[in-house]
Structure 1
Amino acid sequence: MSRRNRNPLHNPLHYATPQLQTGAPVTFSTAKRVLSGYDYVIVGAGAAGCVLASKLSEDKSVSVLLLEAGGDNTKVLESKVPLMFPKLFHTEHDWDYSTVEQPGLASRALYWPRGRIIGGSTSLNAMMYHHCSKSDFDEWATVHGCKRWAYDDLAPYLRRMEKFTPNSDRPAIDTQHRGSSGEWQTGYSWLSEIVDQGFLPACQEIGIPPQSDINCPDGSLGVTRFQTFIDSKGQRSSFATAYLPPSVMQRPNLYVACHAHVTRVLFDRLTSQTPLAIGVEFQTKRGGERFEVHARKEVILSGGAVNTPQTLMLSGIGPADELKKHGIPVLVDNAAVGHNLKDHLCTTPVICKAKAGKTLDYLASNIKALPALLQWLVLGSGPLTSNVGEAAAFIRSTDEKFAGSLRSVLKDNSSGGVGPDLEIIGAPVAFVHHGEEPPVDGNSVFSIVPIGLRPLSSGTVTLRSRDTFDAPLIDPRYFSDDGNNDQKVLLTGLRVCLKIVRSPAFQRFLEVVPTDDDVSSYWWPYSSSNIDNISDEDLIRFMKEKAFTLYHPVGSARMGIASSDSVVDLDCRVHGVKGLRVMDASVFPEQISGHPTATIGAMAYKLSDMIKQDHASESVVHANL
């Protein structure tokens, strides 16, 4: 078979997994086929899966199979053009999940986009490059006992991953904290005038200090222009393009199979006292033929905070009562599987009517967007290289400058008592309902979005049925924490947004300058006769009716020392079994105070080194026997 014919991006799946030393595929029945074995089988070609497959296959002596339920990313224009990412929502490239109805959010079910494509959500969502706060990871090590995962453990991998492109007209960056030879391209992309001359100075006018580089040990506090993972050609640098480029895909020991929907992990329970993961079962479609692939060394789940706990439970690992309810034999009773789910919640933006041409909403028109598309196609530049969230302020809700009357009742849930718990994003578009709702009457609109970064509320991922093609039940339990602290933090964030809107630097970009007598012309969707008299109750009602996710679910298979409150150990091995690890955002011990992509990549990179070292040690032991 030629290399091209063995490439799963060109062939049907069951022809794609190539013949290795184990010989040709063997058919045991009309319902199931056993395919060749590999050293490592990785489930999910998202952020972590791409990094793991790339790094593990650097060792030419091992074989790696990467299974992805979605399709190829290389021909998807909307994934390449930065500003076009919302057009991927609700498509074949999106798992298109929804939560169960949320009592804390006016009984609404919230849409959760998740990447179903090579690269996962790094091929689907906005391109924020963020290390988050040093205190987040130090908390993992000290509070949660996850030693070897502190900031100083991850920082070298953050630098090794990165190829930062400096630019003379961008903020000054201390290059000792930047990587220059990694696979992942980072830097600065498009900056709209209203962000540069309006939002950024407005934040400073209300007391938020400037921060030139939030990706350094000093942390995120302050207002900054966002660094992005958009390359020098103006294209998204996803983990697919960074870690699975053609040069990597051509490795003879790496195989990537699309449209492989994993149904369960396979275990050997006869030759080992502890169940041993020996491979996975998968289908290409509901009701289709079932296939098995075997792993000689390890199976690694990298499906993300929704799919990973679902796969574990379908494989018999999870809360016993939950498994028995669906008729799934219990392999390992672990109550933490699918629990401790945390997400970043934000309100629908404070919407400001800007002067014509000052925002990017005109690009929603195919005719008006044509010059920008030509500029991107020819030069790789222009407004289509905007990251949408072009700038952000990171603050602490308990700061006396912002908390106001809430200060006495706010609980400080930041990491280490020093990290931020609020992010305020400035976006020169009407990002309403995930970008699906256009601005009223074709207006130019600026969105200011408050996000709660350190929620106390936690939820669950549970099974809808034992059919892997049925989406699991996602219940983040937003605003369910005792004392309503999450609600109060976002309320503080909304008040900060209103201060930004009224600052002199920002007002000069508005079509209608806000006054105390009329806010309806510049703040959507709420209006009041006096902005200072808007009650907390009205703002809370607004939040409950309009809040949505920022797409950062974590923690549903979290890392920890004891199986009583965690799913994986400090080596990301699943408690109670052998040969099975998890690496994705589900292993986060606690939510971090920002955007998780860089963290997931660094953790996967680090785990690849740990796996290589483990098996190198095993080889030495076997050689000495």
Structure 2
Amino acid sequence: MNYLIILIEGGVAGSVVANRLTENSTINVLLLEAGPFHKDVIETTIPFYFWLGIPDTYNWNYTTIEQENANNRTISYPRGHILGGSSAINGMVYDRGTTDDYDKIANITGDSGWNWENMLKYFEKLETFGPPADRHDTMGQYNPSFHGLSGPLNVSLPGFSQNIDAFVLQTLNNRTYPYTEDPNTGTELGFGWQVSTIHKGTRTTAATAYLADKYLERPNLDIFYNAFVTRVIASNGSTIDTVEFHPVTDNEAPTLSIRASREIVMSAGSVNTPHILLNSGIGDNATLMSLNITTVHHLPEVGKNMSDTTVMYVSWEVNSTETFDILLNNNTARAEAFAEWNATRTGRMANGVINLSGLLRMNDSDPEVQNIRQQFGDPDAGITAADFEMLFINGLGSPSNGSYFTMLFGVLSPLSRGSVTLNASNPAGPPLVDPNYLASKYDTLVMRQALLTGFNFLSTEPWTSYLGTPVNGLAEVIAALGTDNFTAMDDLIRNGIQNGAHLVSTSAMSPYGADWGVVDPDLHVKGLQGLRIIDASVLPFVPGGATQLPTYGLAERASDVIKSSW
């Protein structure tokens, strides 16, 4: 069959573009997905399986290379390996980002179409904001005027009340810890209720939303599952028009190729997109020569400038039977919770990762913060953007017994930059993922400020009565509070830092004609014809605190950009 468009990978961006392009019945689209079909996979359906563990079958199972500034640890780097991509295994966080984030992207690229005013209409277009699983009154928990009611992506507020919700709300005040009714209106600062990609107690993925049955029935959309793409090829000059792939389930099967008559769209994500490009001979000439790969197109920044939020968890024991640890450690309780979910799509298993979150800027009146700003500047997009996040988790301690309270801290605008490249001993194998965590001292200093803010937040009732013994090295950090000795805290950070799974910028956008970047503002690969990249890898930095919703919005706008070119 002749396909006008071939899409590589059906994650968030690929699913959106496949749906939107095939709204036009004259556009034939083939979507190649390396993973399996998504239906009837219970682990990617029940929201709580984020904590119980999603099988490796649905994960690319990447790890980073040893991280020098994180005590030479290798760190797990999960990426979704199923139709729907990482939306099937992630924390379901709905975070659009801020007005300053998108205005900065517009300024970086020279394209006003990426600004907040223009992107907001796509965020509203893509969603249907529905009631939470427990049907509680959501008055004052979000602003309906900023949300949509007719888009493919169903989202909702938390569907199961937790005892710590009341604790968080009691601690808020109008100055240091303000309440914000809706962090998705363009100003995220403060503490608010977390919207999640959950509908009627069930995880919503890009596949369940944009590749639902009614869309799969379109005669102009074909999907090949378990199709591992190895390269894209230029059959004539600088026009990329052919995709090479092989069946994942048959190692003996020959490599296949298929040609697009109009263009190829790479939506393989911030790890796999540069991996495929480099194997195709698109990248830095010196790097390709060292790998014995013939250069097709010299594009130095492919796989470079990788950025990811840096996160860590800290936990306390608590004397409570209301944490979700019981579902992790007690088979009977887990079976009961599953039975409730299975019967009614309610209960603990219907809930997302968090109910309330805080996004804050550092206190600029603090001399230490002033020193940080003076030394490093302010990498945030603007005054509406946060420096760090604090997420409240009703469980998740270690060892795997007892009951715990956990806080997740994240540095949202890190200065460290890493890379994705090929393994010289096996270029076609898993890529070398190097986030280069904590390479910039700035990231450690901001994480210190996040931890100090968190400890202050928890220093009054009702927390002081609720929290018990700190675990996993946290006690030494707390003992040193009030001194100038940050040795224990910095050790905790180096030992505890984990991936934020918000990887961007390995194929970053830049202005037309710029001699840096990988794609133009219309997402065409610079210097080539017939090839676009539409996924989180083109974002020059992480908007807000996550990448899921920015990628949905990016793909919605990119679809319109493609349509307008026909």
Question: What interval of TM-score do these two structures reach, taking the shorter chain for normalisation?
Answer: over 0.9
Three-state SS of the structure 2 residue aligned to 1:188 is: coil
3-state SS of paired residue (1:101): coil
Normalising to structure 2: TM-score of the pair? 0.94
When structure 1 is superposed on structure 2, of 204-213 and 69-78 the one drifting more is: 204-213
> Which of 324, 347, 350 is 2:314 aligned to?
350
Q: In structure 2, what is the Cα distance between the partners aligned to 1:38 and 1:441?
A: 51
- Conserved 8 A contact 2:422-2:428: no
Per-residue Cα deviation, 1:458-514 (whole angstroms, up to 9, x for no partner) = 111111148564111111111112xx111100111111121222221323433x3xx
Task: Say if 1:146 and 1:523 are closer, same or farther in 2 by CA, change over 3 A.
Answer: farther
Distance, in Å, in 1 between the alignment partners of 2:22 and 2:252 is 32
Unaligned runs of 5+ in 1: 1-19, 21-36, 431-437, 513-520, 616-625
1:465 to 1:88, Cα distance in 2 relative to 1, 3 A: farther
Equivalent in 224, 230, 241 of residue 257 of structure 1? 224
Within 2, Cα distance between the matches of 1:583 and 1:378? 39
Q: Distance in 1 between matches of 2:51 and 2:234?
A: 40
Q: Structure 1 residue 87: deviation in Å?
A: 4.5
Match of 2:244 in 1: 281
* 1:402-441 to 2 correspondences below 5 Å: 403=366, 405-410=368-373, 411-430=377-396, 439-440=398-399
Q: Is the contact made by 1:341 and 1:476 (CA closer than 8 Å) also made in structure 2?
A: yes
2:474 aligns with: 526
Structure 2 SS opposite 1:504: coil
Tell me whether 1:228 sits opposite 2:196 in the alignment: yes
1:538 aligns with 2:501: no
Q: What amino acid does structure 2 have at the position aligned with 1:587?
A: V
Q: Return the alpha-carbon distance in structure 1 between the equivalents of residues 510 and 368 of structure 2.
A: 38
Shift of 1:532: 2.6
CA 1:237–1:441: 2 relative to 1, 3 Å = closer
Cα distance between partner residues in 2 of 1:488 and 1:327: 41
- Letter of the aligned partner of 2:434 in structure 1? D
Q: Distance in 2 between matches of 1:322 and 1:146?
A: 31
Work out the CA distance in 2 between the residues paired with 1:265 and 1:307.
Answer: 13
Distance 1:385 1:205 in 2: 32
Alignment of 1:554 with 2:517, yes or no, is no
The separation in 1 between residues aligned to 2:278 and 2:221, in whole angstroms, is: 28
- Cα separation, partners in 2 of 1:404 and 1:72, compared to 1, 3 Å: farther
Select the structure of larger CA radius of gyration: 1
* Residue type at the aligned position of 1:558: A
Shift of 1:574: 0.4
Once residues 304 and 480 of structure 2 are traced to their aligned partners in structure 1, the CA distance between those partners, rounded to angstroms, is 40
1:504 and 1:123 mapped to 2: Cα distance? Answer: 38
**Matched residue, 1:435:** none
**Maintained 8 Å contact 2:43/2:54:** no
The 3 A distance-change label for structure 1 pair 530 and 171 is farther
In 2, Cα distance between equivalents of 1:86 and 1:545? 21
2:524 maps to: 573
Q: Deviations over 1:388-416 (max 9, x none)?
A: 2221100012444xx56344234422112
**Which of residues 148, 164, 174 is equivalent to 1:179?**
148
- Relative to structure 1, is the Cα distance of residues 211 and 205 closer, same or farther in structure 2, using a 3 angstrom cutoff? closer
Mapping of residues 284-303 of structure 1, within 5 Å: 284-285=247-248, 286=251, 288-303=253-268
Counterpart in 1 of 2:560? 609
CA distance in 1, matches of 2:555, 2:285: 29
Contact 1:358 1:509 in 2 (8 A): no
RMSD: 1.9
CA distance in 2, matches of 1:75, 1:230: 16
In 2, distance between residues paired with 1:469 and 1:421? 38
Rounded Cα–Cα distance in structure 2 between residues aligned with 1:503 and 1:449: 19
| Greater Cα shift, 361-370 or 91-100 | 361-370
Q: For residues 495 and 341 of structure 1, what CA distance do their matches in structure 2 show?
A: 28
Matches within 5 A, 1:18-417: 20=1, 37-89=2-54, 91-166=56-131, 169-172=137-140, 173-204=142-173, 207-217=176-186, 219-232=187-200, 234-269=201-236, 274-285=237-248, 286=251, 288-347=253-312, 349-364=313-328, 365-400=330-365, 403=366, 405-410=368-373, 411-417=377-383
TM-score scaled by length of structure 1: 0.85
Question: Deviations along 1:240-298, whole A, 9 cap, x unmatched?
Answer: 100001111111111111110001002122xxxx5111120001145531111111111
- What percentage of residue pairs aligned between the two structures are identical? 27
The SS at the match of 2:443 is helix
Q: Which moved more, 1:544-553 or 1:406-415?
A: 406-415
- Confirm or deny: 8 A CA contact 2:417 2:435 kept in the other structure: yes
How far 1:439 moved relative to its partner? Answer: 3.3
1:448, distance to aligned residue in structure 2 (A) = 0.6
Pick closer, same or farther for the CA change 1:191–1:323 going to 2, 3 Å: same
Q: CA deviation at 1:55?
A: 0.8
Determine the C-alpha separation between the residues in 2 that align with 1:323 and 1:67: 25
- 1:217-254: CA deviation from partner (whole Å, max 9, x where unpaired): 3x10000110111002x101111100001111111111
Q: Deviations over 1:321-352 (max 9, x none)?
A: 111111211111111100110001112x2212
Q: 1:503 to 1:531 in 2, by over 3 A?
A: farther
- Separation in structure 1 between the aligned mates of residue 527 and residue 109 of structure 2, nearest angstrom: 20
Alpha carbons of 1:467 and 1:38: their partners in 2 closer, same or farther (altered >3 Å)?
A: farther
SS of 2:234's equivalent in the other structure is strand
1:456 is aligned to 2:421 = no
Does structure 2 conserve the Cα–Cα contact (< 8 Å) formed by 1:334 and 1:564? no
Change in Cα spacing, 1:497 to 1:538, as seen in structure 2 (3 Å) is same
User: Which stretch shows the higher mean deviation, 353-362 or 579-588?
Assistant: 353-362
Q: What one-letter code is carried by the residue in structure 2 that aligns with 1:127?
A: M
Q: Indicate conservation of the 8 Å contact 1:223/1:391, yes or no.
A: yes
Query: What secondary structure does 2:525 align onto?
Result: coil
Q: How far apart, in 2, do the equivalents of 1:110 and 1:384 lie?
A: 27
Gaps of 5+ in 2: none
